[in-house]
Amino acid sequence: MKWLALSLLLTGLLAGTAAHATEAAHVRASGAWIRVLPAALPAGAYVTLHNGGDRPAVLRGARSAVYAEVMLHQSSSTGGMSRMRMVDALVVPAHGTATLAPGGYHLMLTQPKQPVQPGDTVRLQLQFADGSTLPTDFIARPADALGAGR
C-alpha cells in the first residue's frame, strides 16, 4: 500500500509541475547592457524584465561564464552619497515589469576571466527563485553610456 500511495503522490507532483511553466518561461528581457569600467572595476549590468505570467517571477541573481561573481545589488543615494547593498531578490510582478538601471537595481559583475570591451556581447543566465534560468545577451557599453542605445 505504501508503494501505491507513493506513486499516486509522484503522479500528482508531476502533473502539478507540468501544469505550471517556470518563472523564466514567462519573462522577457529587453535593453540588456553592461557598463564596462576601466581596469578591473566591477561592471554594472542593466535590463528590463517583462513578466507575461499570472504569477510574480522572482529574480535571484545571475551566472556568467565571463565573470566569476555576479551579485544582485540596489543603489540608492541619500544626501548626495551614493551607496549600494546586496539584495536577495527582485520581484517582477505578474503582467508587470521590473527595471534594472543605473542608480537602482543592477547586477554587479566582478572578476572577469577575460577582458570585456565596449561592443562585446556577454551572456548572463538570469536565475529565478524556482531554479529556472533565462539566457540573456548583454551588450557592453562604455563607461559614459547612459543606456542600451547609442
Binding site for Cu ion (CB under 5 A): 73, 84, 108
In sequence order, which ranges of the chain are alpha helices (DSSP H)?
Answer: 2-19, 23-26
Sign of CA dihedral 30, 62, 85, 87: positive
CB of 84 to Cu ion, least distance (A): 4
CB of 118 to Cu ion, least distance (A): 19
**Strand, helix or coil for residue 8:** helix
Kindly tell me which of 108 and 124 has the beta carbon lying closer to Cu ion.
108
Residue in 32, 49, 62, 68 with CA at minimum distance from that of residue 132: 62
Kindly tell me which of 35 and 73 has the beta carbon lying closer to Cu ion.
73
CB of 85 to Cu ion, least distance (A): 9
What is the number of other CB atoms lying within 10 angstroms of the CB of residue 53? 19
Kindly tell me which of 69 and 137 has the beta carbon lying closer to Cu ion.
69
Question: Which residue number places its CB atom closest to Cu ion?
Answer: 73
